[in-house]
Amino acid sequence: MMTLYSGASCPFSQRCRIVLFEKGMDFQVVDVDPQDKSGDIATMNPYNRPPVLVERDLVLHEANIINEYIDERFPHPQLMPADPVMRARARLFLHRFERELFAHVDALEDGSQKAAEKARGQIRDNLSQISPLFGKQKYMFGDEFSMLDVSIAPLLWRLEYYGVQLPKQSAPLLKYAERLFARQPFIDALTPAEKAMRK
């Protein structure tokens, strides 16, 4: 059985929990305290932060790598495109999310007021740019729910918590976010700490 070492309020851990619930498979989630530097995580991940996935003698860290492994190991429902061209495009999107959106999470959670303010502006601007997409389609890659939706969902869930205010023209993006939040695997994957982030 797979074991996911997960931070209860960690957006990267939430991504992995969503994928595990989307797949509807047997797994165990172990909550770890990201502040506890003496725990198991330090021995399993050189960067000493969740998530970490353990299956027999395989130990993986980094959410996108964990999620691609789960998706290939349990192909139904498939979350990465089957076509190599589309899969490469999906990976490019995932890379952009890391650089343009999730790179700012540390500044929001642990940075100075000035750094957090700058991070909010970057996230707001980058999300505003992709918002028009959802006037035309249901999910990030058209009508099919995919790994891209999994990856961005934890950030969208935390917008209010992080103090990110989107302009009125971002209404299609917020409607899209509500679609993601209504999915049963998303709801099942939420921890009590994450539920408390939204009123």
Question: What would the 3-class secondary structure string for the chain be?
Answer: CEEEEEECCCHHHHHHHHHHHHHCCCEEEEEECCCCCCCHHHHHCCCCCCCEEEECCEEEECHHHHHHHHHHHCCCCCCCCCCHHHHHHHHHHHHHHHHHCHHHHHHHHHCCHHHHHHHHHHHHHHHHHHCCHHHHCCECCECCCCHHHHHHHHHHHCHHHHCCCCCHHHHHHHHHHHHHHCCHHHHHHCCHHHHCCCC
- Confidence band, pLDDT 50/70/90 cuts, at residue 38: low
Q: Which domains does the chain have, with CATH numbers?
A: 2-77+190-195 (3.40.30.10), 84-183 (1.20.1050.10)
Q: Which residues contact 150 (CB under 8 A, 6 or more apart)?
A: 15, 18, 19, 22, 67, 79
**Considering the chain, what percentage of its residues have pLDDT values greater than 90?**
89
- Whether the full predicted model's pTM is greater than 0.85, yes or no, is yes
Asked if the model's pLDDT at residue 94 lies above 90, the reply is: yes
| pLDDT for 46 | 78
Q: What is the mean pLDDT of residues 106-128?
A: 96
Q: At residue 37, does pLDDT exceed 70? A: no
pLDDT for the residue numbered 43: 81
Average pLDDT over residues 40-62: 88
pLDDT digits 0-9 by tens, 138-156: 999 999 999 999 999 999 9
Average pLDDT over residues 82-94: 95
